[in-house]
């Protein structure tokens, strides 16, 4: 399809809670439209619902439930649970769809609606477009409620979260973490209750931070968006390793015992080498993204591992992986995909896999990654009022061309819009910090002048 989606971004529908498209009327329409779509494939569709810890999540969950049930769907509620937890349970129990109320790493004022198909995978773009068209048809119906006062959440089935925990514990068994000092930063999000429980059961000495959600502190100077926080705590606690999740725990970043941040690129290298050693890295291929560092590419070449780049977004990484039957892929931001184990990125699972590799190797994280030399990289975010094609803005295009010509084979220039926020991201990689900063700031200033808020 050549049509452009207006509501769905790279990871569901996001916005400021209470404002379109997350006002009650539109949320109800989303639920009704999804149920309408599911009814075409099932006479009595059952839908699994989960949410993170944002203040707005309960009301959004109640309203979308109202919309789903009004169009003939039946809703089962897992309560507060991670995004990958919903994906796993949706597939296991053959729900017609799984819905997560979350805006992942965004601030508490934002929220979102993510949808998984019955196979546990995120919906294809074409399906999202079909549902969007039905949402707009629903919105033309003047009988849709304008408030959520009449909507109530379905009762929570606590067994669903327990079942997800058991799946995680069994997936990398046997794993004994006795004697390991572990710092966990739960971002005051969906992993706050689950993560400490899992790693304690495995025998680790767990030091828990940012696991007291109050509805407004999710991702607030903590979590995967601020990995230096867990890195500092790991060093201060003389811990062996630190793990930090984002709000819905579909990604994880790490810290070594010296307080160094270990990002998704490093995790891909660690996992790829382990899979290669065990003969499980298909075609010696890893799928990364345009944001992955050139240093990772160089490390892979030394191990005769091929790296292909997909567009940013774990959804698009997974599409490339499935097309090539790759056994590993992921993003620098911490979304790591193990298709043999899960249908989507799972921060808790990633942490378990990393710890399993360390236990079997008998070496600390910093030693296993000692040869990974990342190119200096800078990312500048520019808030924008609209997302016009950048190549159609002469001043921006000229700044990009000059940067690409100056860097040539000694660096990279990646300019893109965020799929989840009103941001343009300017990423420059180069051996010269001064040259890198110059070009990044020049491009960012051109974007600011044309599109900035």
d(CA 220, CA 188): 8
295/410 Cα distance (integer angstroms): 12
Is 350 in contact with 342 (CB distance < 8 Å)? no
Q: Which of 404, 406, 426 is nearest to 415 (CA)?
A: 426
Considering only CA atoms, which of 226, 204, 191 is closest in space to residue 83?
Answer: 191
Q: Which helix (H) or strand (E) holds 319?
A: helix 314-324
Task: Read off φ and ψ for residue 309, nearest 5 degrees.
Answer: -105, 130
Of 102, 104, 118, 327, the catalytic one is: 104
Q: Cβ–Cβ contacts within 10 Å for residue 419, how many? A: 18
Question: Active site includes 418?
Answer: no
CA–CA gap between residue 309 and residue 290 (Å, rounded): 6
DSSP string, 212-238: ---SS-TTTT-GGG-HHHHHHHHHHTT
Measure the CA–CA gap between 102 and 122, rounded to whole angstroms.
14
DSSP symbols for 50-92: EE-S-TTHHHHHHHHHHHHHHTT-EEEEEEE--HHHHHHHHHH
For 96, the 3-state DSSP assignment is coil
Q: Which two tokens stand for residue 397?
A: 């295009």
Q: What is the dihedral of CA 334, 376, 355, 169, to 10 degrees?
A: 0
**What is the rounded distance in angstroms from the CA atom of residue 189 to the CA atom of residue 176?**
26
Peptide bond into 404 cis (omega under 30): no
Q: Given CA atoms 114, 120, 124, 127 in this order, what sign does their dihedral have?
A: negative
Are 141 and 40 within 8 A, CB to CB?
no
SS3 of 290, please? Answer: coil
Q: Please give the positions annotated as active site.
A: 104
């Amino acid at each position: 399809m050549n049509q452009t989606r207006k509501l769905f971004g790279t990871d569901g529908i996001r916005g400021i809670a209470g404002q379109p498209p997350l006002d009650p009327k539109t949320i109800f329409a989303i639920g009704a439209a999804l149920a309408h779509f599911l009814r075409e494939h099932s006479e009595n569709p059952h839908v699994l619902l989960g949410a993170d810890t944002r203040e707005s999540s309960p009301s959004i969950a109640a309203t979308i439930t109202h919309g789903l049930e009004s169009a003939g769907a039946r809703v089962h509620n897992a309560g507060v649970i991670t995004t990958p937890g919903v994906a796993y349970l949706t597939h296991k129990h053959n729900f017609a769809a799984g819905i997560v109320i979350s805006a992942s790493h965004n601030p508490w004022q934002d929220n979102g609606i993510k949808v998984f198909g019955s196979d546990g995978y995120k919906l294809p773009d074409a399906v999202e477009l079909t549902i969007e068209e039905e949402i707009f048809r629903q919105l033309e119906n003047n009988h849709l409620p304008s408030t959520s006062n009449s909507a109530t959440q379905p009762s929570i089935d606590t067994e669903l979260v327990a079942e997800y925990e058991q799946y995680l514990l069994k997936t990398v068994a046997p794993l004994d973490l006795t004697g390991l000092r572990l710092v966990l930063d739960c971002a005051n999000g969906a992993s706050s209750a689950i993560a400490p429980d899992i790693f304690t059961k495995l025998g680790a000495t767990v030091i828990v931070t940012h696991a007291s959600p109050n509805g407004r502190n999710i991702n607030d100077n903590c979590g995967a968006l601020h990995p230096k926080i867990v890195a500092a705590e790991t060093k201060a606690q003389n811990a062996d390793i630190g793990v930090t999740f984002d709000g819905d725990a579909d990604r994880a970043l790490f810290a070594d015992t010296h307080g160094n941040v270990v990002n998704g690129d490093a995790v891909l290298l660690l996992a790829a080498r382990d899979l290669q050693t065990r003969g499980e890295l298909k075609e010696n291929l890893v799928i990364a993204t345009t944001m992955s560092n050139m240093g990772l590419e160089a490390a892979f070449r030394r191990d005769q591992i091929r790296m292909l780049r997909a567009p940013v977004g774990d959804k698009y990484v997974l599409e490339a992986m499935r097309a090539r039957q790759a056994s590993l892929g992921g993003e620098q931001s911490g979304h790591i995909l193990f298709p043999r184990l899960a249908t989507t990125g799972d921060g808790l699972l990633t942490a378990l896999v990393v710890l399993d590799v360390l236990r079997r190797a008998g070496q600390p994280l910093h030693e296993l990654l000692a040869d990974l030399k990342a190119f200096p990289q800078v990312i500048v975010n520019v808030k924008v009022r609209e997302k016009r094609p950048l190549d159609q803005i002469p001043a921006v295009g000229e700044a990009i061309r000059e940067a690409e010509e100056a860097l040539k084979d000694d660096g990279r220039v990646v300019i893109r819009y965020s799929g989840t926020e009103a941001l343009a991201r300017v990423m420059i990689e180069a051996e010269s910090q001064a040259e890198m900063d110059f070009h990044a700031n020049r491009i960012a200033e051109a974007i600011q002048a044309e599109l900035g808020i």
